[in-house]
């Protein structure tokens, strides 16, 4: 190992690990400890209940779909913001972070008001048979909303630093714009897109504040998993609530590990093909 020229290894690592330990790990240990009251068999029983399954399916399915939508739309929007100049670009760029800043409850109320049958959009969509508010579609909408900035903000710096030389070279060799994009640009962006996907996914899975207003919250249909946790808490059943929390966290982590494996694989693939 190379002699360390730079100082502060012990200090910085020590601080970071202590901070993480106190703020994140210790509380999560408390959660696991509480969840252990339910036991492994209890967790399996919980997972066997159709209600829990339906809620988990909605939370994770919705979040996966929302993250997917965010990747596609986010790529388009980031491309426009980084590569093109048009009036209002800076304002739109600043607005990207809005879902971060707006309290989730406000976002939920605003989206519900807009998409309710008597809302700005709802009054046009509902006669067409498109019900957004109080359906799983509403859940999806809120999830896309909270996850959107993650994709754009992850992608933006990478796209900015991406040299246009390669694209220019490809095009001067006769490739069309679309071919250039698909063959040259997209492969280098895939690992970053996956990062954005993972972040948007993680955020959407656990989202409560904004979803609860627009979901309708009907069991087996539009009830999200965090709401089940809240219901258990209202029954003073902390153990089951904690167990549900642990289950959700475990699923999220499995998904994130899968995404990061996929990322490593695509990165290697992009390097080989380059």
Cα angle for residues 240, 244, 246 (degrees, 5° grid): 115
Cα(164)–Cα(187) distance, integer angstroms? 14
Cα(140)–Cα(184) distance, integer angstroms? 32
Site for another protein in 24-43 (CB under 8 A): 24-28, 30-31, 33-34
| Nearest residue to 28 (alpha-carbon basis) of 252, 253, 246 | 246
CB of 115 to another protein, least distance (A): 9
Site for another protein in 168-207 (CB under 8 A): 168, 176-178, 199, 202-203, 205-207
**CA 110 → CA 30, 145, 211, 214, distances in Å?**
35, 12, 11, 9
Question: Which listed residue (39, 97, 169, 268) binds another protein by CB under 8 A?
Answer: 97
Site for another protein in 108-137 (CB under 8 A): 109-114, 116-121, 133-134
With binding defined as CB under 8 A, does residue 60 bind another protein? no
With binding defined as CB under 8 A, does residue 85 bind another protein? yes
CB of 18 to another protein, least distance (A): 10
Question: Which listed residue (186, 218, 258, 261) binds another protein by CB under 8 A?
Answer: 218
Q: Which three-class secondary structure state does DSSP give residue 259?
A: helix
CB of 187 to another protein, least distance (A): 19
Contacts of 203 by beta carbon, 8 Å cutoff, 6+ apart: 146, 147, 150
Cα(220)–Cα(211) distance, integer angstroms? 16
Q: Which stretch binds another protein (CB under 8 A): 36-44, 156-164, 183-191, 266-274?
A: 156-164
# of chain residues touching another protein (CB under 8 A):
120
Q: Which stretch binds another protein (CB under 8 A): 22-30, 36-44, 182-190, 265-273?
A: 22-30
With binding defined as CB under 8 A, does residue 48 bind another protein? no
What is the gyration radius of the CA atoms in the chain, in angstroms? 22
């Amino acid at each position: 190992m190379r002699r360390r020229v730079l100082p502060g290894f012990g200090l910085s690592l020590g601080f970071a690990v202590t901070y993480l330990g106190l703020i994140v790990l210790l509380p999560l240990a408390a959660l696991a400890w509480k969840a252990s009251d339910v036991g492994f068999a209890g967790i399996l029983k919980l997972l066997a209940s159709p209600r829990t399954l339906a809620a988990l399916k909605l939370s994770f399915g919705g979040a996966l779909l929302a993250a997917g939508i965010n990747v596609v739309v986010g790529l388009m929007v980031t491309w426009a913001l980084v590569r093109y100049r048009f009036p209002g670009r800076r304002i739109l760029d600043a607005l990207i972070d809005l879902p971060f800043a707006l309290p989730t409850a406000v976002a939920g109320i605003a989206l519900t008001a807009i998409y309710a049958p008597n809302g700005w959009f709802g009054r046009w969509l509902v006669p067409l048979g498109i019900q957004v508010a109080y359906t799983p579609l509403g859940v999806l909408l809120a999830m896309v909303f909270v996850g959107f900035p993650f994709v754009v903000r992850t992608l933006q710096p990478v796209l900015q630093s991406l040299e246009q030389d390669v694209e220019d070279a490809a095009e001067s060799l006769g490739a069309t714009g679309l071919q250039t994009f698909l063959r040259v640009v997209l492969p280098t962006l895939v690992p970053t897109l996956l990062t954005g996907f993972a972040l948007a996914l993680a955020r959407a899975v656990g989202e409560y504040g904004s979803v609860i207003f627009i979901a309708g919250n009907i069991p087996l249909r539009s009830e999200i998993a965090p709401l089940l946790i809240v219901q258990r808490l209202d029954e003073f059943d902390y153990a089951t609530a904690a167990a549900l929390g642990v289950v959700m966290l475990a699923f999220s982590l499995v998904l994130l590990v899968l995404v990061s494996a996929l990322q490593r694989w695509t990165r290697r693939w992009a390097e080989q093909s380059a």
